[in-house]
Structure 1
C-alpha cells in the first residue's frame, strides 16, 4: 500500500465519498454516519493542517494562499457538519443542510486533487512525500483512535 501523503489524502477523500453516498441514500443510522464523518473529517483536516499544508505553503506564494484557503475550507466544512449533527435527521431541512455540507467538501476535494496535490507531487521527492505521509498518518490515526475508529 502506498504511503505517500498525496495517496493517503486521496484515500481519505474516497472514504468520505462512500460515507456521503450512504448519507444521501439515507442508508443506515444517519446520526452514526454523521459521527463517523465528523471523526474522519476532523482527523483528516488536523493531519493536513499540521503536516501537509505547512510544506505546501513553502512552495510559493500561490501555494501558501491555497494552504490558508484549504484550512478555511476545513473549518467551514466542520462548522456545517457540527450544525448538521445538532438537528434531527427527520427534520424538514436536514437533507438541504446535508447537501450543502457535502457540496462544500466536494468542492474542497476537487480543488485539492486538481491543484494542491499535483503541486506537491511535482515539487517534492517521493521520499519526502513518504515522510509527510508517515507524519500525516500518525496524526490522523491518533485522532481517529480518540473517536474509537481503528485504522
Structure 2
C-alpha cells in the first residue's frame, strides 16, 4: 500500500503531481484483490479530500488572481472535485470490499479521477508552470502542503465528512440552476 506522502512545500506543481502519482498507485492497489482494500480506501479518501480542498482554498484562487487560469477553469475543476467526491462516497458506502459492486465503484472512481488528473495537469498545471514565477510556485507549494496536512490531521476523509461535502455540492448545484 502506498504510504501517505508528507509534503513540506516546494514547487506547487511538483507537489500536486506527486499526489497525482500517489492517487494512481492507490487506485492500482484498490483493484488488487490481495490488497487491504479498506485500508487503501481510507487513505485514499483522506488524501483525495485534503488535496482537493487545499487546491480549492490555496492554489486555484491564486492562479486565477494572477490570470494563469480563467474563472471557468476554476469552476470546472471544482465541479470535477465534486464528482470525484460523489464517486468516492459511493465506493465508501460499499460494505463488502471483495464484492463485484466494490470493483464497479472502484472503476467509477478511477474513471472520474483519471479524467480530472489529466485535465488538471494540462489546463491548470501547465499554465502554472509558464505563467507563475518560481517564487510564487514555491510559496503556493508551502501553503498547499500546510493546508493539506491540516486537513489530513482533521480526519477529512471520514465517511461523515465526505457525505457533508457531497451534500454541500448538491445544494450549491441546486442554487446555481
The two structures have a TM-score, normalised by structure 2, of 0.77
- Shift of residue 61 of structure 1? 9.4
**Which structure 2 residues correspond to residues 91-130 of structure 1 after superposition, within 5 A?**
91-130=99-138
Q: Which residue of 1 aligns with 2:36?
A: 29
Q: Which residue of 1 aligns with 2:83?
A: 76
Gaps of 5+ in 2: 1-7, 157-177
- Shift of residue 56 of structure 1? 2.4
Go from structure 1 to structure 2 and tell me whether the alpha carbon gap of 1:2 and 1:52 turns closer, same or farther (over 3 Å shift).
closer
Q: Which residue of 1 aligns with 2:161?
A: none
- Shift of residue 29 of structure 1? 1.5
> How many Å separate the matches in 2 of 1:101 and 1:71?
16
Q: Which residue of 1 aligns with 2:155?
A: 147
Q: Which residue of 2 aligns with 1:55?
A: 62
- Shift of residue 92 of structure 1? 3.2
Go from structure 1 to structure 2 and tell me whether the alpha carbon gap of 1:61 and 1:14 turns closer, same or farther (over 3 Å shift).
closer
- Shift of residue 26 of structure 1? 2.4
Q: Render the CA deviation track for 1:58-109: whole Å, top value 9, x for unaligned.
A: 3449621111111111111111111111112233322111101111001000
> How many Å separate the matches in 1 of 2:154 and 2:27?
22
Go from structure 1 to structure 2 and tell me whether the alpha carbon gap of 1:73 and 1:110 turns closer, same or farther (over 3 Å shift).
same
Gaps of 5+ in 1: none
> How many Å separate the matches in 2 of 1:136 and 1:126?
15
Go from structure 1 to structure 2 and tell me whether the alpha carbon gap of 1:71 and 1:9 turns closer, same or farther (over 3 Å shift).
same
Q: Name the SS of the counterpart of 2:147 in structure 1.
A: helix
Pairs aligned (count): 148
Q: Which residue of 2 aligns with 1:12?
A: 19
The two structures have a TM-score, normalised by structure 1, of 0.90
Go from structure 1 to structure 2 and tell me whether the alpha carbon gap of 1:62 and 1:139 turns closer, same or farther (over 3 Å shift).
closer
RMSD across aligned positions (CA): 1.9
> How many Å separate the matches in 2 of 1:75 and 1:120?
22
